[in-house]
């Protein structure tokens, strides 16, 4: 019997950490396309974060947002702030949450983990 399951599929976005660092300036967020999904890739001093490129407030794109020292991204449209670790809103007028994706960095590059539905036997 076949069943549909969600499974994390890893996509290589950059071939090395240096390539990723030269593509995204610290404190900035850029648009990237991974598989068929449009994401926002954010770089802070310590980490990279991959987010759905859609603000939880009014669904405008998050790329071109900027980061704060408190590990938040500020949406470029209405300047609401969202926590990059938890995804929670730090603005009173928005209770939405960022949709985050896994990021993995190793000697082979920077990878984004997307949840994809796959068919499996049993
Ligand atoms: S659309 Fe992002 S804060 Fe309004």
Question: Does any ligand 1 atom lie closer than 6 A to the CB of residue 64?
Answer: no
Total tally of structural domains belonging to the chain: 1
Closest C-alpha to ligand 1, atom 3:
78
What pairs with residue 10 in β-bridges? 113
Tell me the per-residue pLDDT of 38-82, one tens digit each, with 9 for 90 and over: 999 999 999 999 999 999 999 999 999 999 999 999 999 999 999
The boundaries of the domain holding residue 42 are: 16-104
Q: Is residue 3 part of a domain?
A: no
Closest C-alpha to ligand 1, atom 1:
58
The ligand 1 atom nearest the CA atom of 58? 1
Q: What pTM does this model have?
A: 0.91
Question: Does any ligand 1 atom lie closer than 6 A to the CB of residue 78?
Answer: yes
Strand arrangement, sheet containing 72-74: 66-67, 72-74, 81-83
Strand arrangement, sheet containing 37-43: 2-14, 109-121, 100-106, 48-52, 37-43, 29-34
Q: Is 18 helix (H, G, I), strand (E, B) or coil?
A: helix
Q: Ligand 1 centre from 20 Cα, in Å? A: 26
Q: Is residue 110 part of a domain?
A: no
The CATH number for 100's domain is 2.102.10.10
Residue 87, both tokens: 């995804």
Annotate 11-24 with three-state secondary structure.
EEEECCHHHHHHHC
* Residue range 13-38: mean pLDDT, rounded: 97
Q: Is residue 122 part of a domain?
A: no
């Amino acid at each position: 019997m076949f069943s549909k399951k969600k499974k994390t599929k890893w996509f290589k976005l950059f071939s090395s950490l240096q390539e990723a660092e030269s593509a995204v300036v610290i404190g900035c967020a850029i648009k990237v396309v991974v598989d068929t999904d449009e994401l926002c890739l954010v770089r802070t001093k310590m980490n990279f974060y991959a987010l759905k490129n859609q603000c939880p407030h009014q669904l405008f794109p998050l790329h071109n947002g900027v980061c704060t020292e408190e590990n938040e991204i500020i949406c470029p449209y209405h300047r609401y702030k969202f926590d990059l670790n938890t995804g929670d809103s730090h603005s009173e007028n928005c209770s939405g949450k960022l949709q985050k994706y896994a990021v993995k960095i190793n000697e082979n590059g920077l990878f984004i983990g997307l949840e994809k539905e796959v068919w499996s036997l049993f």
